């Protein structure tokens, strides 16, 4: 597997090795030993799938707050999406910045999003099947979000606000400026 830092170094692109032949391919989407060898120490607790039927479906920007905060390993199993991670750690040198990484079933790339980041995506193809591997169980009372099209975030979504397929909940989220300080940045010792 290959691990590459993004413009926000704590967010990583993980590319599992594919072994292919005329039948297709085989890949290990997660291997604890390989992760440890790359210095990644995550204890995943739950796997989730979401299917978005329509191009331009936006899900996010979501996160869970302590004590039920989650790191996420996300990938696309069918279709394609623009995946976005926003740093919401107060005091971070990249607070309010984001990375936007295209993911597709064909490229097999994954995005590792640590605790302290809001996450969302926009589908680029119909019937996009999205996989989430998370480090904590879903806790509805700790489930929060940031407005997906907050102008302060300057995310270049591949869909206009008028054309986006967005849930009522996601359309009514707070802007980053309105968000309490759920996470604070801590430098490595």
Q: Which active-site residues does the annotation give?
A: 62, 132
Strand, coil or helix: 168: helix
CA dist 100 and 37 (Å) reads 26
Q: 3-class SS at 169? A: helix
Q: How far apart are CA 72 and CA 119, in angstroms?
A: 9
Residue 166: asked if its preceding bond is cis (omega within 30°), the reply is no
DSSP 131: E
Q: Is 116 left (phi over 0), alpha (psi -120 to 50) or beta?
A: left
Give CA torsion, residues 48, 16, 153, 188, to 10 deg.
Answer: 100
DSSP state of 165: B
Q: Which pair of tokens denotes residue 178? A: 């309105």
């Amino acid at each position: 597997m290959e691990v590459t830092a993004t413009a926000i170094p704590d967010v990583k692109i993980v590319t599992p090795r594919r072994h292919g032949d005329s039948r297709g391919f085989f890949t290990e989407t997660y291997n604890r030993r390989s992760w440890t060898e790359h210095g990644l120490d995550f204890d995943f607790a739950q796997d989730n799938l979401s299917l978005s039927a329509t191009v331009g479906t936006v899900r996010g920007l979501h996160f869970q707050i302590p004590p039920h905060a989650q790191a996420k390993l996300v990938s696309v199993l069918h279709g394609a999406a623009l995946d976005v991670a926003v740093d919401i750690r107060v005091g971070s040198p990249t607070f309010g910045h984001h990375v936007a990484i295209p993911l597709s079933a064909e490229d097999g790339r994954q995005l590792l999003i640590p605790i302290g980041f809001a996450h969302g995506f926009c589908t680029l193809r119909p019937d996009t099947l999205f996989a989430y591997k998370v480090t904590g169980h879903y806790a509805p009372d700790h489930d929060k979000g940031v407005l997906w099209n907050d102008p302060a975030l300057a995310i270049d979504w591949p869909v206009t606000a008028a054309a986006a397929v967005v849930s009522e909940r996601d359309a009514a989220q707070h802007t980053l400026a309105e968000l309490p300080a759920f996470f604070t940045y801590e430098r490595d010792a």
